């Protein structure tokens, strides 16, 4: 049987090599994510295996630098009932996180700081590695009690406790390295192929891996946050209603789930309800 011309021609050979080169970084990525290249750790509560390729020291330095920039540019509220509430709830959530930290066998350094930023348009809060926390007045307007604020701060502290920022950086490094290797090899045949590959691979990695991974982290932070607030003595039963209020604010302004780092509001609420029995048992044990 004769060999098909498309496979025996030089053009066909380059195409075949390109296919193999494109597959290689994807296989390396899959292997590295499944075997734990770099430093492995385990997420609290869920027990999920993680890849953390950046040292805690580097993450803390980056966190402190960014936190200082934010505080330098922001209008901070440093006294009054709202500020007192942020500090009060934050300290109790932080204490629950420290308990997890001691019991995990993978201790982290936390130097807790709490900031209230005066920005009514920003419905947001965050916690950087090392325990640098900021809450915006825009999201405070949606809270009706300390329990509601504990939902927010528990979720954000959970991101730091579970080293989610380190994970995102590590996964991005792996994806970038694999793409660069393949693009460099393709450039030997045709620089345009390398350019097209970089565009296609970047989009594929973003929508096929990084965004779904971000949504997984958000749902994990919800679950860990429930446990943190329960251990801190806050009533986690308010969490679904709080996210329903958030959903009403976001209505019409959120992208489809597959284009977002965050899960759809309905899915988030459903997962919170599913994790409620465990959190209720813990909460009732604190009464």
Residue 72 lies in a domain: yes
Give me the helices (H) in the chain, please: 5-8, 10-35, 56-73, 81-104, 137-140, 146-161, 164-187, 191-205, 211-231, 239-250, 265-286
Cα–Cα distances (Å) from 258 to 179, 214, 216, 240, 270, in that order, read 22, 11, 12, 22, 18
Residue 127 lies in a domain: yes
- Predicted confidence (pLDDT) per residue in 8-56, tens digit: 333 344 434 443 443 444 444 444 444 444 566 788 888 888 888 888 8
For residue 261, pLDDT over 70 is answered with: no
| CA–CA dist 94, 17 (Å, integer) | 53
Domain count within the chain: 1
Segment among 39-53, 110-124, 248-262, 264-278 with least mean pLDDT: 248-262
Residue 146 lies in a domain: yes
For residue 182, pLDDT over 70 is answered with: no
Residue 69 lies in a domain: yes
| CA–CA dist 179, 200 (Å, integer) | 10
Residue 199 lies in a domain: no
**Between 212 and 196, the higher pLDDT residue:** 212
- Predicted confidence (pLDDT) per residue in 140-155, tens digit: 999 999 999 999 999 9
**Tell me, what's the pLDDT at 134?**
96
Predicted structure pTM score: 0.74
State the helix-helix crossing angle for 146-161 and 81-104, rounded to 10 degrees.
40
Longest dimension (CA), the chain: 85
HSE, side-chain direction, 13 A CA sphere, residue 278: 13
Domain that holds residue 157: 41-168+212-286
DSSP code of residue 2: P
């Amino acid at each position: 049987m004769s060999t098909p011309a498309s496979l025996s021609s030089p053009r066909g050979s380059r195409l075949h090599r390109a296919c193999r080169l494109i597959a290689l970084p994807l296989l390396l990525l899959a292997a590295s994510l499944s075997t734990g290249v770099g430093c492995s750790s385990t997420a609290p509560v869920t027990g999920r295996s993680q890849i953390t390729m950046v040292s805690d020291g580097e993450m803390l330095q980056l966190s402190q630098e960014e936190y200082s920039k934010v505080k330098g540019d922001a209008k901070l509220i440093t006294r009054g009932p709202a500020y007192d509430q942020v500090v009060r709830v934050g300290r109790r959530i932080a204490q629950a996180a420290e308990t997890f930290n001691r019991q995990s066998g993978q201790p982290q350094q936390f130097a807790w700081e709490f900031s209230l930023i005066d920005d009514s348009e920003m419905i947001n809060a965050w916690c950087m590695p090392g325990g640098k926390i900021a809450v915006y007045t825009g999201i405070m307007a949606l809270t009706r009690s300390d329990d509601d604020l504990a939902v927010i701060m528990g979720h954000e502290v959970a991101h730091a406790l579970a080293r989610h920022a380190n994970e995102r950086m590590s996964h991005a490094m792996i994806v970038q390295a694999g793409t660069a290797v393949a693009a460099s090899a393709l450039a030997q045949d045709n620089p345009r192929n390398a350019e097209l590959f970089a565009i296609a691979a970047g989009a594929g990695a973003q929508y096929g891996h990084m965004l779904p991974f971000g949504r997984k982290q958000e749902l994990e932070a919800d679950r860990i946050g429930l446990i943190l607030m329960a251990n801190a003595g806050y009533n986690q039963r308010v969490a679904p209603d709080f996210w329903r209020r958030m959903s009403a604010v976001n209505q019409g302004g959120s992208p489809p789930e597959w284009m977002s780092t965050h899960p759809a509001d309905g899915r988030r609420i459903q997962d919170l309800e599913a994790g409620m029995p465990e959190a209720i048992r813990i909460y009732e044990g604190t009464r």
